[in-house]
A and B are shown apart, each in its own frame.
Chain A
Amino acid sequence: MTTLPKARNDGLLTEEVDDELVVYDRETQRAHRLNRTARLVWHGCDGQTTVGDLATRLQDELELATADEDIVWLTLRKLERADLLEASRMPTPGVNGVSRRQLVHRLGLVGGLAALLPVVQTMRVPTPAMAQSVPVEEPPKHKKKPRKKRKERKDKDDKRGDRRDHRDDDDD
Protein backbone atom coordinates (compact mmCIF):
# COMPACT_ATOMS: atom_id res chain seq x y z
CA MET A 1 0.00 0.00 0.00
CA THR A 2 1.58 3.25 -1.13
CA THR A 3 1.32 6.15 1.25
CA LEU A 4 0.56 9.61 -0.04
CA PRO A 5 3.21 12.30 0.28
CA LYS A 6 2.70 15.26 2.56
CA ALA A 7 1.28 18.46 1.20
CA ARG A 8 3.70 21.35 1.42
CA ASN A 9 2.67 24.10 3.81
CA ASP A 10 5.69 26.33 4.24
CA GLY A 11 5.41 29.65 2.45
CA LEU A 12 1.92 28.98 1.15
CA LEU A 13 -1.24 31.02 1.57
CA THR A 14 -4.59 29.51 0.66
CA GLU A 15 -8.06 30.77 -0.06
CA GLU A 16 -11.08 28.54 -0.62
CA VAL A 17 -13.38 29.84 -3.33
CA ASP A 18 -16.48 27.75 -3.76
CA ASP A 19 -15.17 24.20 -4.24
CA GLU A 20 -11.81 25.36 -5.60
CA LEU A 21 -8.67 26.37 -3.80
CA VAL A 22 -6.28 29.16 -4.71
CA VAL A 23 -2.78 28.66 -3.35
CA TYR A 24 -0.24 31.47 -3.27
CA ASP A 25 3.39 30.38 -3.12
CA ARG A 26 5.39 33.17 -1.54
CA GLU A 27 8.68 31.49 -2.36
CA THR A 28 8.12 31.37 -6.10
CA GLN A 29 5.56 34.20 -6.38
CA ARG A 30 3.21 31.91 -8.23
CA ALA A 31 -0.46 31.28 -7.67
CA HIS A 32 -2.18 27.99 -8.35
CA ARG A 33 -5.83 27.19 -8.82
CA LEU A 34 -6.79 23.70 -7.74
CA ASN A 35 -10.14 22.48 -8.95
CA ARG A 36 -12.30 20.32 -6.74
CA THR A 37 -10.47 17.07 -7.49
CA ALA A 38 -7.00 18.56 -7.10
CA ARG A 39 -8.07 20.26 -3.89
CA LEU A 40 -9.40 17.00 -2.44
CA VAL A 41 -6.18 15.18 -3.28
CA TRP A 42 -3.98 17.97 -1.93
CA HIS A 43 -5.94 18.06 1.33
CA GLY A 44 -5.62 14.28 1.48
CA CYS A 45 -1.83 14.39 1.28
CA ASP A 46 -1.07 13.87 4.96
CA GLY A 47 1.79 11.39 4.70
CA GLN A 48 -0.38 8.63 6.20
CA THR A 49 -3.37 8.02 3.94
CA THR A 50 -2.80 5.47 1.21
CA VAL A 51 -3.41 6.07 -2.46
CA GLY A 52 -6.12 3.41 -2.40
CA ASP A 53 -7.91 5.05 0.52
CA LEU A 54 -7.89 8.40 -1.21
CA ALA A 55 -9.14 6.85 -4.45
CA THR A 56 -12.08 5.45 -2.51
CA ARG A 57 -12.69 8.82 -0.90
CA LEU A 58 -12.64 10.49 -4.30
CA GLN A 59 -15.12 7.95 -5.61
CA ASP A 60 -17.50 8.90 -2.81
CA GLU A 61 -16.97 12.65 -2.97
CA LEU A 62 -17.02 12.94 -6.75
CA GLU A 63 -19.53 10.14 -7.31
CA LEU A 64 -17.20 8.36 -9.71
CA ALA A 65 -18.09 4.99 -11.20
CA THR A 66 -15.04 3.30 -9.71
CA ALA A 67 -12.28 3.96 -7.21
CA ASP A 68 -9.40 4.53 -9.60
CA GLU A 69 -5.95 5.09 -8.19
CA ASP A 70 -4.72 6.59 -11.44
CA ILE A 71 -6.75 9.74 -10.91
CA VAL A 72 -4.85 10.16 -7.65
CA TRP A 73 -1.51 9.59 -9.37
CA LEU A 74 -2.38 12.01 -12.14
CA THR A 75 -3.24 14.65 -9.57
CA LEU A 76 -0.10 13.98 -7.57
CA ARG A 77 2.03 14.57 -10.64
CA LYS A 78 0.34 17.90 -11.20
CA LEU A 79 0.76 18.90 -7.58
CA GLU A 80 4.39 17.84 -7.62
CA ARG A 81 5.11 19.91 -10.73
CA ALA A 82 3.47 22.88 -9.05
CA ASP A 83 5.81 22.29 -6.09
CA LEU A 84 2.89 21.81 -3.73
CA LEU A 85 4.18 18.57 -2.19
CA GLU A 86 7.05 17.96 0.16
CA ALA A 87 9.64 16.92 -2.38
CA SER A 88 11.30 14.12 -0.46
CA ARG A 89 8.03 12.31 0.20
CA MET A 90 6.80 11.79 -3.35
CA PRO A 91 6.29 8.04 -3.76
CA THR A 92 7.08 6.14 -6.91
CA PRO A 93 3.93 5.70 -8.96
CA GLY A 94 2.61 2.18 -8.92
CA VAL A 95 1.61 2.44 -12.55
CA ASN A 96 2.98 4.11 -15.62
CA GLY A 97 1.75 7.64 -16.17
CA VAL A 98 -1.84 7.82 -17.25
CA SER A 99 -3.15 10.58 -19.44
CA ARG A 100 -6.27 12.67 -19.06
CA ARG A 101 -7.62 11.09 -22.21
CA GLN A 102 -7.20 7.59 -20.82
CA LEU A 103 -8.90 8.58 -17.58
CA VAL A 104 -11.78 10.18 -19.42
CA HIS A 105 -12.46 6.90 -21.18
CA ARG A 106 -11.92 4.69 -18.16
CA LEU A 107 -14.06 6.69 -15.77
CA GLY A 108 -16.66 7.65 -18.34
CA LEU A 109 -16.04 11.34 -17.72
CA VAL A 110 -17.82 12.70 -20.73
CA GLY A 111 -19.52 16.06 -21.10
CA GLY A 112 -19.70 18.04 -17.89
CA LEU A 113 -18.12 15.21 -15.92
CA ALA A 114 -14.78 16.05 -17.55
CA ALA A 115 -14.63 18.90 -15.04
CA LEU A 116 -13.87 16.21 -12.45
CA LEU A 117 -10.44 15.68 -13.98
CA PRO A 118 -7.78 17.28 -11.84
CA VAL A 119 -6.67 20.76 -12.80
CA VAL A 120 -3.79 22.72 -11.33
CA GLN A 121 -3.65 26.07 -13.11
CA THR A 122 -0.53 28.08 -12.43
CA MET A 123 0.24 31.74 -13.00
CA ARG A 124 3.11 34.01 -12.12
CA VAL A 125 1.93 36.72 -9.75
CA PRO A 126 2.78 40.14 -11.18
CA THR A 127 5.04 42.65 -9.53
CA PRO A 128 3.45 46.08 -9.10
CA ALA A 129 5.16 47.26 -12.28
CA MET A 130 3.99 44.20 -14.21
CA ALA A 131 0.41 44.76 -13.11
CA GLN A 132 0.72 48.26 -14.51
CA SER A 133 2.40 47.42 -17.77
CA VAL A 134 1.11 46.60 -21.20
CA PRO A 135 1.10 42.81 -21.58
CA VAL A 136 3.70 41.45 -23.95
CA GLU A 137 2.13 40.19 -27.12
CA GLU A 138 3.00 36.79 -28.46
CA PRO A 139 5.48 36.85 -31.34
CA PRO A 140 3.96 36.38 -34.76
CA LYS A 141 3.45 32.80 -35.75
CA HIS A 142 5.64 31.52 -38.55
CA LYS A 143 4.90 29.15 -41.33
CA LYS A 144 2.31 26.55 -40.43
CA LYS A 145 3.53 23.04 -39.94
CA PRO A 146 1.75 20.41 -42.01
CA ARG A 147 -1.09 18.80 -40.11
CA LYS A 148 -0.36 15.36 -38.74
CA LYS A 149 -2.62 12.47 -39.36
CA ARG A 150 -5.24 12.06 -36.69
CA LYS A 151 -3.87 8.73 -35.45
CA GLU A 152 -0.37 10.17 -35.07
CA ARG A 153 -1.74 13.15 -33.16
CA LYS A 154 -3.77 10.94 -30.85
CA ASP A 155 -0.79 8.69 -30.08
CA LYS A 156 1.34 11.70 -29.34
CA ASP A 157 -1.34 13.18 -27.12
CA ASP A 158 -1.58 9.94 -25.16
CA LYS A 159 2.18 9.85 -24.71
CA ARG A 160 2.31 13.43 -23.59
CA GLY A 161 -0.33 12.59 -21.06
CA ASP A 162 -0.93 15.33 -18.61
CA ARG A 163 2.08 17.38 -19.66
CA ARG A 164 -0.37 19.58 -21.47
CA ASP A 165 -2.35 20.13 -18.34
CA HIS A 166 0.41 21.68 -16.36
CA ARG A 167 0.77 24.70 -18.55
CA ASP A 168 -1.19 27.72 -17.46
CA ASP A 169 -4.30 25.96 -18.61
CA ASP A 170 -7.60 27.67 -18.53
CA ASP A 171 -9.62 25.32 -20.57
CA ASP A 172 -11.35 23.05 -18.17
Chain B
Amino acid sequence: VSASLGSWRRAADAERVDGVTPASVGAPSGSLDTLDWTGSLSLVSHGARIGVRVNEPAVLERLTPYLPPGSSPAPSPQVNDLYSLWVGNGEPHRLYRGSATLAQTYDLEAVFEALESALSFNVAVAARRGLFVHAGAVGWRGRAIVVPGRSMSGKTSLVAALARAGAAYYSDEYAIFDERGRLHPFPGRLSMRNGHGASAEKRSPEELGLRVGSEPLPVALVAVTDWQRGARWRPRTLSPGQAMLALLDNTVPAQLRPKLALTTLGRVVEGSVALRGKRGEAEEVAASLLEHPATDNHHQREGD
Protein backbone atom coordinates (compact mmCIF):
# COMPACT_ATOMS: atom_id res chain seq x y z
CA VAL B 1 0.00 0.00 0.00
CA SER B 2 2.93 2.35 0.28
CA ALA B 3 3.42 5.03 -2.30
CA SER B 4 6.51 7.01 -3.03
CA LEU B 5 6.76 10.35 -1.34
CA GLY B 6 7.09 12.14 -4.60
CA SER B 7 3.73 10.88 -5.78
CA TRP B 8 1.65 12.58 -3.09
CA ARG B 9 -1.08 14.84 -4.36
CA ARG B 10 -3.73 16.59 -2.41
CA ALA B 11 -6.99 16.86 -4.33
CA ALA B 12 -6.91 20.35 -5.76
CA ASP B 13 -10.56 20.42 -6.63
CA ALA B 14 -11.79 19.97 -3.09
CA GLU B 15 -15.40 19.02 -3.50
CA ARG B 16 -17.91 21.45 -2.08
CA VAL B 17 -20.76 19.78 -0.30
CA ASP B 18 -24.14 21.49 0.05
CA GLY B 19 -22.42 24.80 -0.52
CA VAL B 20 -20.00 24.37 2.36
CA THR B 21 -16.33 23.58 2.10
CA PRO B 22 -15.94 20.39 4.09
CA ALA B 23 -13.61 20.30 7.05
CA SER B 24 -11.95 17.29 5.46
CA VAL B 25 -9.84 19.47 3.23
CA GLY B 26 -6.65 19.71 5.19
CA ALA B 27 -4.40 22.71 5.37
CA PRO B 28 -1.23 22.55 3.30
CA SER B 29 1.46 20.73 5.20
CA GLY B 30 3.92 23.51 4.40
CA SER B 31 7.43 23.09 5.80
CA LEU B 32 6.67 19.51 6.82
CA ASP B 33 7.05 18.61 3.16
CA THR B 34 10.76 19.33 3.37
CA LEU B 35 11.35 16.66 6.02
CA ASP B 36 12.70 13.24 5.19
CA TRP B 37 9.60 11.08 4.79
CA THR B 38 10.54 7.55 3.85
CA GLY B 39 7.31 5.59 3.96
CA SER B 40 3.69 6.23 3.20
CA LEU B 41 0.31 4.68 2.56
CA SER B 42 -2.91 5.91 1.08
CA LEU B 43 -6.29 4.49 1.92
CA VAL B 44 -9.89 4.94 0.97
CA SER B 45 -12.80 4.44 3.32
CA HIS B 46 -16.41 5.20 2.38
CA GLY B 47 -15.14 7.41 -0.40
CA ALA B 48 -12.78 9.42 1.81
CA ARG B 49 -9.20 9.39 0.57
CA ILE B 50 -6.51 9.77 3.20
CA GLY B 51 -2.73 9.53 3.20
CA VAL B 52 -0.30 8.80 6.01
CA ARG B 53 3.44 9.33 5.74
CA VAL B 54 6.12 8.37 8.22
CA ASN B 55 9.82 8.90 8.67
CA GLU B 56 10.40 5.23 9.57
CA PRO B 57 8.96 2.67 7.13
CA ALA B 58 8.83 -0.02 9.83
CA VAL B 59 6.13 1.98 11.59
CA LEU B 60 3.72 1.46 8.69
CA GLU B 61 3.35 -2.23 9.50
CA ARG B 62 2.34 -1.37 13.05
CA LEU B 63 -0.39 0.99 11.88
CA THR B 64 -2.71 -1.67 10.48
CA PRO B 65 -4.84 -2.12 13.64
CA TYR B 66 -5.30 1.64 13.86
CA LEU B 67 -6.64 2.22 10.36
CA PRO B 68 -10.39 2.79 9.90
CA PRO B 69 -12.35 -0.48 9.84
CA GLY B 70 -13.13 -1.58 6.33
CA SER B 71 -10.65 0.77 4.73
CA SER B 72 -8.65 -0.43 1.76
CA PRO B 73 -5.53 0.71 -0.08
CA ALA B 74 -6.34 3.60 -2.38
CA PRO B 75 -5.72 3.02 -6.08
CA SER B 76 -4.42 6.57 -6.41
CA PRO B 77 -2.00 8.52 -4.23
CA GLN B 78 -4.22 11.59 -4.57
CA VAL B 79 -5.74 12.29 -1.17
CA ASN B 80 -7.95 14.86 0.49
CA ASP B 81 -6.16 14.70 3.80
CA LEU B 82 -2.59 13.94 4.68
CA TYR B 83 -1.33 12.84 8.09
CA SER B 84 2.35 12.91 8.99
CA LEU B 85 3.76 10.78 11.78
CA TRP B 86 7.29 11.68 12.87
CA VAL B 87 8.98 9.13 15.09
CA GLY B 88 11.14 11.13 17.49
CA ASN B 89 14.09 8.78 18.19
CA GLY B 90 14.80 10.36 21.54
CA GLU B 91 12.69 13.42 20.84
CA PRO B 92 8.90 13.50 21.21
CA HIS B 93 6.93 11.71 18.50
CA ARG B 94 4.69 14.05 16.53
CA LEU B 95 1.50 13.63 14.59
CA TYR B 96 0.23 16.22 12.13
CA ARG B 97 -2.84 16.67 10.00
CA GLY B 98 -1.79 18.97 7.23
CA SER B 99 0.42 21.40 9.12
CA ALA B 100 -1.60 21.23 12.34
CA THR B 101 -0.09 19.33 15.26
CA LEU B 102 -2.48 16.69 16.60
CA ALA B 103 -0.22 14.99 19.13
CA GLN B 104 3.26 15.37 20.57
CA THR B 105 4.42 12.81 23.09
CA TYR B 106 7.14 10.30 23.93
CA ASP B 107 4.46 7.57 24.02
CA LEU B 108 4.32 6.10 20.52
CA GLU B 109 1.24 4.03 21.35
CA ALA B 110 -0.56 7.26 22.31
CA VAL B 111 0.38 8.72 18.93
CA PHE B 112 -1.01 5.63 17.18
CA GLU B 113 -4.27 5.97 19.09
CA ALA B 114 -4.45 9.67 18.28
CA LEU B 115 -4.00 8.75 14.62
CA GLU B 116 -6.70 6.08 14.91
CA SER B 117 -9.21 8.58 16.32
CA ALA B 118 -8.26 11.23 13.81
CA LEU B 119 -8.56 8.88 10.83
CA SER B 120 -11.97 7.57 11.88
CA PHE B 121 -13.23 11.09 12.50
CA ASN B 122 -11.81 12.16 9.15
CA VAL B 123 -13.71 9.38 7.43
CA ALA B 124 -16.89 10.30 9.34
CA VAL B 125 -16.66 13.88 8.11
CA ALA B 126 -15.45 13.27 4.58
CA ALA B 127 -17.32 10.07 3.68
CA ARG B 128 -19.03 10.21 0.32
CA ARG B 129 -21.08 7.12 1.04
CA GLY B 130 -23.24 6.82 4.13
CA LEU B 131 -24.13 9.13 6.99
CA PHE B 132 -21.94 8.85 10.08
CA VAL B 133 -23.64 9.29 13.43
CA HIS B 134 -21.77 9.20 16.71
CA ALA B 135 -23.31 6.02 18.08
CA GLY B 136 -22.70 2.47 19.11
CA ALA B 137 -24.69 -0.21 17.32
CA VAL B 138 -25.41 -3.92 17.33
CA GLY B 139 -27.46 -6.33 15.24
CA TRP B 140 -30.13 -8.46 16.83
CA ARG B 141 -32.66 -10.74 15.16
CA GLY B 142 -32.07 -9.16 11.79
CA ARG B 143 -32.49 -5.58 12.98
CA ALA B 144 -30.28 -2.99 14.58
CA ILE B 145 -30.16 -1.40 18.01
CA VAL B 146 -28.49 2.00 17.92
CA VAL B 147 -27.15 3.90 20.93
CA PRO B 148 -26.35 7.49 19.94
CA GLY B 149 -24.08 9.46 22.22
CA ARG B 150 -20.83 11.30 22.43
CA SER B 151 -17.68 10.27 24.20
CA MET B 152 -18.05 9.41 27.89
CA SER B 153 -21.80 8.82 27.59
CA GLY B 154 -21.30 5.15 28.37
CA LYS B 155 -22.32 3.79 24.99
CA THR B 156 -19.35 1.44 24.70
CA SER B 157 -20.19 -0.42 27.88
CA LEU B 158 -23.78 -0.79 26.70
CA VAL B 159 -22.74 -1.96 23.24
CA ALA B 160 -20.31 -4.44 24.78
CA ALA B 161 -23.04 -5.74 27.10
CA LEU B 162 -25.42 -6.15 24.17
CA ALA B 163 -22.74 -8.01 22.20
CA ARG B 164 -21.85 -10.23 25.16
CA ALA B 165 -25.54 -11.09 25.43
CA GLY B 166 -25.49 -12.41 21.86
CA ALA B 167 -25.99 -9.42 19.59
CA ALA B 168 -23.65 -8.89 16.65
CA TYR B 169 -21.21 -6.04 17.09
CA TYR B 170 -21.49 -3.28 14.47
CA SER B 171 -19.96 -0.16 15.92
CA ASP B 172 -18.54 1.43 19.02
CA GLU B 173 -17.96 4.93 17.70
CA TYR B 174 -19.84 5.63 14.48
CA ALA B 175 -23.06 4.14 13.16
CA ILE B 176 -23.21 4.38 9.38
CA PHE B 177 -26.59 4.67 7.70
CA ASP B 178 -27.28 4.32 3.99
CA GLU B 179 -29.93 6.27 2.11
CA ARG B 180 -32.53 3.66 3.07
CA GLY B 181 -31.79 4.18 6.73
CA ARG B 182 -30.07 0.81 7.13
CA LEU B 183 -27.16 0.36 9.49
CA HIS B 184 -23.77 -0.69 8.09
CA PRO B 185 -20.85 -1.97 10.16
CA PHE B 186 -17.94 0.17 11.28
CA PRO B 187 -16.49 -2.30 13.79
CA GLY B 188 -13.58 -0.44 15.25
CA ARG B 189 -11.78 -1.26 18.47
CA LEU B 190 -13.82 -0.63 21.59
CA SER B 191 -12.76 1.97 24.13
CA MET B 192 -13.16 0.06 27.36
CA ARG B 193 -12.98 2.04 30.59
CA ASN B 194 -12.40 0.56 34.02
CA GLY B 195 -14.99 2.68 35.76
CA HIS B 196 -16.74 5.84 34.68
CA GLY B 197 -14.30 8.64 33.94
CA ALA B 198 -11.28 6.36 33.87
CA SER B 199 -8.93 6.40 30.90
CA ALA B 200 -9.91 4.17 28.03
CA GLU B 201 -8.14 1.09 26.78
CA LYS B 202 -8.85 0.05 23.23
CA ARG B 203 -9.62 -3.59 22.56
CA SER B 204 -10.49 -5.25 19.29
CA PRO B 205 -13.84 -7.05 19.06
CA GLU B 206 -11.90 -10.27 18.45
CA GLU B 207 -9.94 -9.80 21.68
CA LEU B 208 -13.22 -9.38 23.52
CA GLY B 209 -14.74 -12.42 21.85
CA LEU B 210 -17.46 -10.43 20.15
CA ARG B 211 -19.10 -11.55 16.95
CA VAL B 212 -18.97 -8.87 14.26
CA GLY B 213 -21.96 -8.24 12.00
CA SER B 214 -21.63 -7.62 8.30
CA GLU B 215 -25.11 -7.34 6.77
CA PRO B 216 -26.86 -3.98 6.44
CA LEU B 217 -29.78 -3.90 8.86
CA PRO B 218 -32.93 -1.84 9.28
CA VAL B 219 -33.08 -0.13 12.66
CA ALA B 220 -35.45 -1.50 15.28
CA LEU B 221 -34.49 0.51 18.36
CA VAL B 222 -32.77 3.79 19.11
CA ALA B 223 -31.77 4.05 22.78
CA VAL B 224 -30.86 7.56 23.90
CA THR B 225 -29.28 7.11 27.29
CA ASP B 226 -26.58 8.35 29.63
CA TRP B 227 -25.03 6.43 32.45
CA GLN B 228 -25.88 7.71 35.91
CA ARG B 229 -24.83 6.07 39.12
CA GLY B 230 -27.72 4.21 40.69
CA ALA B 231 -30.18 5.08 37.93
CA ARG B 232 -32.86 2.62 36.94
CA TRP B 233 -33.76 2.12 33.31
CA ARG B 234 -37.27 3.47 33.02
CA PRO B 235 -37.29 4.97 29.55
CA ARG B 236 -39.99 6.94 27.87
CA THR B 237 -40.80 6.57 24.21
CA LEU B 238 -39.77 9.39 21.92
CA SER B 239 -41.84 10.56 18.99
CA PRO B 240 -40.21 10.11 15.58
CA GLY B 241 -39.43 13.83 15.49
CA GLN B 242 -37.79 13.71 18.91
CA ALA B 243 -35.79 10.66 17.84
CA MET B 244 -34.67 12.48 14.74
CA LEU B 245 -33.39 15.45 16.73
CA ALA B 246 -31.57 13.09 19.09
CA LEU B 247 -29.81 11.45 16.15
CA LEU B 248 -29.17 14.75 14.40
CA ASP B 249 -27.49 16.00 17.57
CA ASN B 250 -24.90 13.24 17.09
CA THR B 251 -24.59 13.37 13.32
CA VAL B 252 -21.02 14.22 12.39
CA PRO B 253 -21.62 15.92 9.00
CA ALA B 254 -25.02 17.41 9.97
CA GLN B 255 -23.99 20.94 9.08
CA LEU B 256 -22.07 19.86 6.00
CA ARG B 257 -24.77 17.70 4.45
CA PRO B 258 -28.06 18.65 6.09
CA LYS B 259 -30.23 17.36 3.27
CA LEU B 260 -28.61 13.93 3.39
CA ALA B 261 -28.87 13.97 7.18
CA LEU B 262 -32.59 14.78 7.20
CA THR B 263 -33.63 12.26 4.57
CA THR B 264 -31.44 9.48 5.96
CA LEU B 265 -32.46 10.00 9.57
CA GLY B 266 -36.08 10.21 8.43
CA ARG B 267 -35.73 6.68 7.07
CA VAL B 268 -34.03 5.52 10.27
CA VAL B 269 -36.78 6.73 12.59
CA GLU B 270 -39.79 5.83 10.46
CA GLY B 271 -39.40 2.12 11.08
CA SER B 272 -37.97 2.18 14.58
CA VAL B 273 -38.88 2.80 18.19
CA ALA B 274 -36.86 5.34 20.17
CA LEU B 275 -36.41 5.32 23.94
CA ARG B 276 -34.82 7.88 26.22
CA GLY B 277 -33.79 7.53 29.84
CA LYS B 278 -30.97 7.46 32.34
CA ARG B 279 -29.42 4.08 32.92
CA GLY B 280 -27.42 2.32 35.55
CA GLU B 281 -25.70 -0.97 34.89
CA ALA B 282 -25.28 -1.86 31.23
CA GLU B 283 -26.32 -5.49 31.60
CA GLU B 284 -29.76 -4.56 32.91
CA VAL B 285 -30.43 -2.21 30.01
CA ALA B 286 -29.00 -4.62 27.46
CA ALA B 287 -31.39 -7.34 28.58
CA SER B 288 -34.31 -4.93 28.43
CA LEU B 289 -33.41 -3.74 24.93
CA LEU B 290 -32.93 -7.25 23.58
CA GLU B 291 -36.34 -8.26 24.90
CA HIS B 292 -38.09 -5.17 23.60
CA PRO B 293 -41.01 -5.99 21.27
CA ALA B 294 -39.54 -3.73 18.59
CA THR B 295 -36.69 -6.20 18.11
CA ASP B 296 -39.05 -9.04 17.19
CA ASN B 297 -38.54 -9.90 13.58
CA HIS B 298 -39.58 -12.80 11.44
CA HIS B 299 -36.57 -12.36 9.20
CA GLN B 300 -33.92 -13.51 11.60
CA ARG B 301 -30.39 -13.11 10.38
CA GLU B 302 -27.76 -11.47 12.53
CA GLY B 303 -27.65 -12.52 16.15
CA ASP B 304 -29.81 -15.62 15.84
Contacts and interface: CB of A to CB of B under 8 A. Distances in A.
Q: Do A and B bind each other?
A: yes
Interface of A: 13-18, 20-22, 24, 26, 29, 31, 33-35, 121, 123, 125-129, 131-135, 170
A132 B245 contact: no
B241 A24 contact: no
B104 interface: no
B262 to A, nearest CB: 4
Q: Which 7 A-B pairs have the closest CB atoms?
A: A20-B241, A15-B262, A17-B240, A33-B241, A18-B240, A15-B266, A131-B252
A20 B258 contact: no
Given A128-B124, A132-B121, A135-B150, A17 B266 contact: yes
Nearest to A26: B258
Contact of A20 (B150, B152, B239, B259): B239
A100 to B, nearest CB: 18
B266 A126 contact: no
B285 to A, nearest CB: 19
Given A13-B262, A125-B255, 7 more contacts: A22-B248, A24-B261, A33-B244, A33-B245, A131-B249, A131-B251, A133-B151
23 contacts: A13-B259, A13-B262, A15-B262, A17-B241, A21-B241, A22-B266, A24-B262, A33-B242, A33-B244, A121-B241, A121-B242, A125-B249, A126-B249, A126-B255, A127-B255, A128-B125, A131-B134, A131-B249, A131-B251, A132-B150, A132-B252, A134-B150, A134-B151
Contacts of A24: 258, 261-262
Given A20-B239, A131-B150, A133-B151, A123 B245 contact: yes
Interface string B226-249: 000000000000011110110011
Contact of A15 (B150, B152, B244): B244
Given A13-B262, A126-B255, A131 B242 contact: no
B252 A18 contact: no
In this complex, the member of B254, B259, B261 whose beta carbon has the largest number of chain A beta carbons within 10 angstroms is B254
B32 to A, nearest CB: 22
A131 B254 contact: yes
A40 to B, nearest CB: 14
Interface residues of B, number: 33
Contacts of B241: 17-18, 20-22, 33-35, 121
A123 B248 contact: yes
Interface of B: 23, 121, 124-125, 134, 150-153, 239-242, 244-245, 248-256, 258-259, 261-263, 265-266, 269-270
B125 to A, nearest CB: 5
A140 to B, nearest CB: 15
A128 B258 contact: no
Nearest to B254: A125
Contacts of B256: 128
A132 B248 contact: no
Given A18-B241, A20-B240, A33-B245, A134 B262 contact: no
Nearest to A135: B150
A106 to B, nearest CB: 25
A88 to B, nearest CB: 26
B150 A133 contact: yes
B245 to A, nearest CB: 5
A34 B242 CA distance: 10
A18 B242 CA distance: 11
Nearest to B238: A170
Contacts of A29: 255
A125 B245 CA distance: 9
B248 A125 contact: yes
Nearest to B269: A17
A127 B249 CA distance: 9
A129 B256 CA distance: 12
